[in-house]
Amino acid sequence: MTQLNHLLQRLCEADLDFVIVGGFAAMLHGSALLTRDLDVCLVLSADNVGRLREIFCELHPTHRHTPQRLSFLENPPGETTLDNLYLQTDLGPVDFLGSITGVGTHAQVRANAIEVELFGHRVPVIALADLIASKRALGREKDHLAIKELLAIVEQNPTR
């Protein structure tokens, strides 16, 4: 978990417009489930892809979903806009998602996001209702357990 915190801290310090989603967001909402990667929703414009290369350059970022583990620093070529990006770094895996299943685009996720204080920054986190909607839409086995816990969090604190 500490390594994921370091990944997140780098993103915060880069002043990118992102929203924390996935398991890390669930933890920030009070979930006890652990996550092994950091998921963020971010517009993957050519500028943002370039900034990500700068932020992670010394962390040896590679594409997790390519058999050859291609270097993110060289692939894709510059000035490329992406939909999603799945990286492995020296600090752990990080997924950059241009949209969230069951919720929508970065702008839609950002519109409902709450903000939390992390590393001296106000950081947007996917709204609990949107996180539940996303988990439902994905429908994976691991999401069913998360949904139950997230609904229990809502029951305990209906204002969330």
User: Is 70 exceeded by the pLDDT of residue 2?
Assistant: no
pTM of the model: 0.92
Q: Between the CA of residue 45 and those of 37, 48, 85, 102, 108, what are the distances in Å?
A: 22, 5, 11, 22, 17
Mean local confidence (pLDDT), 37-48: 95
Q: What is the pLDDT of residue 117?
A: 94
Q: Describe the strand order of the beta sheet including 84-89 as a list of residue ranges.
A: 62-63, 84-89, 92-97, 38-42, 18-21, 121-125, 114-118
Of the pLDDT bands very low, low, confident and very high (cuts 50, 70, 90), residue 139 is confident
Q: Please state, in angstroms and rounded to a whole number, the distance separating the CA atoms of residues 44 and 134.
A: 20
Q: Please state, in angstroms and rounded to a whole number, the distance separating the CA atoms of residues 138 and 23.
A: 13
Terminal alpha carbon distance of the chain: 25
User: Is 80 exceeded by the pLDDT of residue 160?
Assistant: no
| Beta pairing class for 92-97 and 38-42 | parallel
In this predicted model, what pLDDT tens digit does every residue of 23-32 receive, in sequence order?
Answer: 999 999 999 9
Measuring CA to CA, which residue among 29, 33, 46 is closest to residue 1?
A: 33
Q: What is the pLDDT of residue 136?
A: 95
Find out whether 146 and 26 touch, Cβ atoms under 8 Å. Answer: yes
Look up the CATH number of domain 2-124+140-154. Answer: 3.30.460.40
